[in-house]
């Protein structure tokens, strides 16, 4: 399989960018990865955390992922090791720089290898897969959003209050240098085929509804990844939302 990859990023209406992204598909086929982190903790904290995690993981994977002796069964363990190493790098940085204590970041890390999708994620940065018809988020959402949605479905909470609940984006797991509450690491991997589209993003993309994202993806499923990226970013900008968060995302088309 070969991959068509494109990405984009914007500060949105924030004063600074706390998202960080690294992409590595050295041969456009075989194996490759994207690592995306959405930092928290304010200027000179959240941005440091996200860049630190992305840099640590990218170097770790470049050293480990492409070794010939690494088979498919070993990739999830490599992803977990990379996540723990990145978390330890935050702990080490905070120990040396007490003024940024409390900084942290989400993580979403998809790996495409031998026709399969592996991932590890911590936090609420979504990983979507479009199969030619349907778009779904495949990784876990480590925020209070799913719990609030369950309360709405059970009738315990009004739908409108659920959509606008002030705690929706409160994270239940994050990389902060301490013990990680939840790690989503899929096993077995998800099989891919020609026409599948993978979207990895920060939650800034979710200012668009899943239905809006789905519609744009369907309309551009036969276009280049760069065209789909442009269409998604244009849709975000057209919202003109005064609260628009940083938005970073990458699109991988299986060709």
pLDDT per residue as tens digits for the range 78-109? 999 999 999 999 999 999 999 999 999 999 99
Q: Quick check: bond before 188 cis, omega within 30?
A: yes
Return the structure tokens found at 199: 């979207």
- 109: nearest Cα among 40, 173, 201: 201
**Residue 67 CA neighbour count, 13 Å, CB half:** 11
Return the structure tokens found at 45: 């904290």
Q: What is the pLDDT of residues 156-210, one digit of tens each?
A: 888 887 777 777 879 999 999 999 999 999 888 999 999 999 999 999 999 999 9
Instruction: Determine how many CB atoms are found less than 10 A away from the CB of residue 203.
Output: 22
Q: How far apart are CA 197 and CA 252, in angstroms?
A: 6
Q: Is residue 69 pLDDT above 80, yes or no? A: no
Q: What is the pLDDT of residues 209-240, one digit of tens each?
A: 999 999 999 999 999 999 999 999 999 999 99
Q: Is residue 127 pLDDT above 70, yes or no? A: yes
Query: Tell me, what DSSP letter sits at residue 143?
Result: B
Q: How far apart are CA 227 and CA 237, in angstroms?
A: 15
pTM of the predicted structure, to 2 decimals: 0.93
């Amino acid at each position: 399989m070969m991959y068509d990859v494109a990405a984009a990023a914007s500060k949105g209406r924030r004063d600074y960018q706390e998202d960080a992204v690294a992409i590595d598909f050295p041969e456009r086929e075989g194996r490759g990865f994207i690592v995306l982190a959405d930092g928290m903790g304010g200027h000179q904290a959240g941005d440091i955390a996200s860049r630190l995690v992305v840099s640590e993981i990218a170097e770790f994977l470049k050293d480990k992922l492409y070794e010939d002796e690494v088979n498919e069964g070993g990739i999830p363990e490599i992803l977990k090791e990379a996540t723990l190493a990145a978390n330890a790098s935050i702990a080490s940085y905070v120990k040396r720089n007490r003024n940024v204590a409390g900084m942290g970041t989400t993580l979403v890390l998809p790996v495409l290898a031998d026709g399969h999708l592996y991932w590890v994620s911590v936090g609420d940065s979504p990983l979507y897969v479009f199969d030619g018809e349907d778009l779904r988020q495949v990784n876990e959402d480590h925020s209070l959003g799913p719990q609030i949605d369950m309360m709405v479905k059970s009738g315990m909470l009004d739908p409108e209050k659920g959509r606008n609940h002030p705690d929706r984006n409160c994270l239940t797991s994050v990389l902060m240098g301490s013990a990680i509450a939840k790690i989503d690491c899929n096993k077995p991997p998800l099989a891919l085929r020609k026409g599948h589209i993978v979207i990895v993003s920060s939650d800034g993309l979710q200012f668009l509804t899943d239905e809006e994202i789905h519609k744009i993806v369907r309309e551009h499923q036969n276009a280049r990844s760069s065209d789909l990226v442009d269409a998604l970013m244009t849709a975000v900008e057209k919202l003109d939302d005064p609260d628009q968060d940083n938005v970073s995302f990458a699109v991988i088309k299986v060709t």
